[in-house]
Structure 1
Amino acid sequence: MGTHTGQEMIAVPPGQVALTDRRTRRTWTVEVAPCRLGAFPVTQGLYAEVTGRWPAAARGDRLPVEGVSWWDAVRFCNALSEREGFTPAYRLDDGPGGGPGGDGESVEWDTSADGYRLPTEAEWEHACRAGTGGPRYGPLDEIAWYRDNAGERVREVGGKRPNPWGFHDMLGNVWDWCWDLYDPEVYGTYRVLRGGGWFDEHWSCRASARRRSHPTFQVDDVGFRLARSAGRLAPPPG
């Protein structure tokens, strides 16, 4: 199977995706530009290699990293970009609130940067669907680790069948943090989660399912995968 780290990237073609929120019964259409997205969730091995930290509840190099906040994911993206000579995608401003993700800290996405970042939820859903219709890209037991087959624990990445574009674990195993605010008028700074996790019932493991969490929360079924913007993907000189 090879050594999957969560750094392997797949080109995502441009397209259009209709996002739906069941709570508000709202549907909106988003044009998705070409980008690249991680074939697997970021693994604990890669996260530890870059940060020196093992935040996950269960330890294993090929297990997806979990127990990481949205702020942890943003900082990891910048650290990996700097390690590889890319321009970090995020500008962080430490305000008087102090601490990572504190009330006084803000973040700005530099859309001109060539570094690693979190996917938008439109990019995530477009890549998850991979040109398929319906709630899933295949029979759930064949493509996802979830409550009925995961044995109530996180599983190594890449153990289930990928979608037609080659993405693994888009549904099940761990939820993916996305860049977007969930509903700022109602939930403030809460960010979007996508994909379902190992402890979820089948109805949460759907391409359209949206969940939210506070950006400082660290949960044992929430991880992330990497994205990079297209058009700025050439390796740095030298």
Structure 2
Amino acid sequence: MHSMVDIPAGAIALRDDRLGTRWEVTLPAFRLGRYPVTGADDVPVASVSWYDAVALCNKLSAEDGFPAAYEISGEDVTLVDSSPGYRLPTEAEWQYACTAGVPAYRYGGLDEIAWYANNSDGRAQAVGQKVANAWGLHDMLGNVWEWCWDLYDPATYGSYRIFRGGGFDDPDRSIGSTVRRRSHPTFAIEDLGLRLAQSVVTA
């Protein structure tokens, strides 16, 4: 079973500086992985596309005895709202959890909390070595970027999806809770991975 953290309900203000828009999202309680999904030697899984990430969520759900959170038919992916299975966080959930519900750019000194260009030796590092945030989440910033569920801007970018958090090769200015990146859902690169989320399903 994956180590999941209970995240309390709350609200988060988001913004898109490119479009000059701001909005607020109210979030029910949910669960988020204590660490990014890892492979060998506890190093984050990376070089996964968004399509790979949702498929991996379903695979890990099955391994841990949960029903699938996604119905996948080719490039058509639908979230099953009532499923307790693993899924990608929304970007609102990700940003809210990143700084433990308190709006901030970071949750500590950069070298203490994150692997990035100045300290990573140019590669992803085993998770859990840096200081966690106030909710016990590790590596929310740095190490690998993390795919989110959301479309970025369908009117302009079509199927592009969002990823958050910064990676091991990024400079300090790119490592912050409000930094938003996007790419085509087939995009995969060595510093882009994922973190599991779960909806809290009540009977």
Q: What interval of TM-score do these two structures reach, taking the shorter chain for normalisation?
A: over 0.9
Cα deviation for residue 114 of structure 1 reads: 1.2
For 1:131 and 1:41, locate their aligned partners in 2 and report how far apart those are by CA, in whole Å: 19
Q: Which runs of structure 2 are paired with 1:71-220 in the superposition (5 Å)?
A: 71-94=51-74, 105-220=75-190
For 2:103 and 2:158, locate their aligned partners in 1 and report how far apart those are by CA, in whole Å: 32
- Could you tell me whether the CA contact under 8 Å between 2:36 and 2:139 is conserved in 1? yes
- State the match for 1:101 in structure 2: none
Point out where structure 2 has 5 or more consecutive residues left out of the alignment.
Answer: none
Equivalent residue for 2:46, pick from 55, 66, 73:
66
Question: Counterpart of 2:62 in 1: which secondary structure?
Answer: helix
For 1:109 and 1:152, locate their aligned partners in 2 and report how far apart those are by CA, in whole Å: 35
Question: What amino acid sits opposite 1:10 in the alignment?
Answer: V
Question: Counterpart of 1:61 in 2: which secondary structure?
Answer: helix
Point out where structure 1 has 5 or more consecutive residues left out of the alignment.
Answer: 45-59, 95-104
For 2:144 and 2:57, locate their aligned partners in 1 and report how far apart those are by CA, in whole Å: 18
* Of 170-179 and 20-29, the range deviating more from structure 2: 20-29
Question: What amino acid sits opposite 2:195 in the alignment?
Answer: R
- State the match for 1:43 in structure 2: 38
Question: What amino acid sits opposite 2:8 in the alignment?
Answer: P
Question: Counterpart of 1:203 in 2: which secondary structure?
Answer: helix
Question: What amino acid sits opposite 1:62 in the alignment?
Answer: D
CA deviation vs aligned residue, 1:36-91 (integer Å, no higher than 9, x gap): 000000001xxxxxxxxxxxxxxx32100000111111011111112222110101
1:25 correspondence with 2:20: yes
For 2:154 and 2:107, locate their aligned partners in 1 and report how far apart those are by CA, in whole Å: 30
Number of residues of Structure 1 aligned to a counterpart in Structure 2: 203
For 2:183 and 2:38, locate their aligned partners in 1 and report how far apart those are by CA, in whole Å: 21
Which of the pair has the greater relative contact order for Cα pairs under 8 Å at 6+ separation? 2
For 1:67 and 1:40, locate their aligned partners in 2 and report how far apart those are by CA, in whole Å: 17
For 2:61 and 2:104, locate their aligned partners in 1 and report how far apart those are by CA, in whole Å: 35
Question: Counterpart of 2:108 in 1: which secondary structure?
Answer: coil
For 1:211 and 1:198, locate their aligned partners in 2 and report how far apart those are by CA, in whole Å: 15
Equivalent residue for 2:9, pick from 10, 14, 24:
14
**Over aligned residue pairs, what C-alpha RMSD do you find?**
1.4
Larger radius of gyration between Structure 1 and Structure 2? 1
For 2:104 and 2:60, locate their aligned partners in 1 and report how far apart those are by CA, in whole Å: 35
Question: Counterpart of 1:208 in 2: which secondary structure?
Answer: coil
Question: What amino acid sits opposite 2:200 in the alignment?
Answer: A
For 1:93 and 1:145, locate their aligned partners in 2 and report how far apart those are by CA, in whole Å: 36
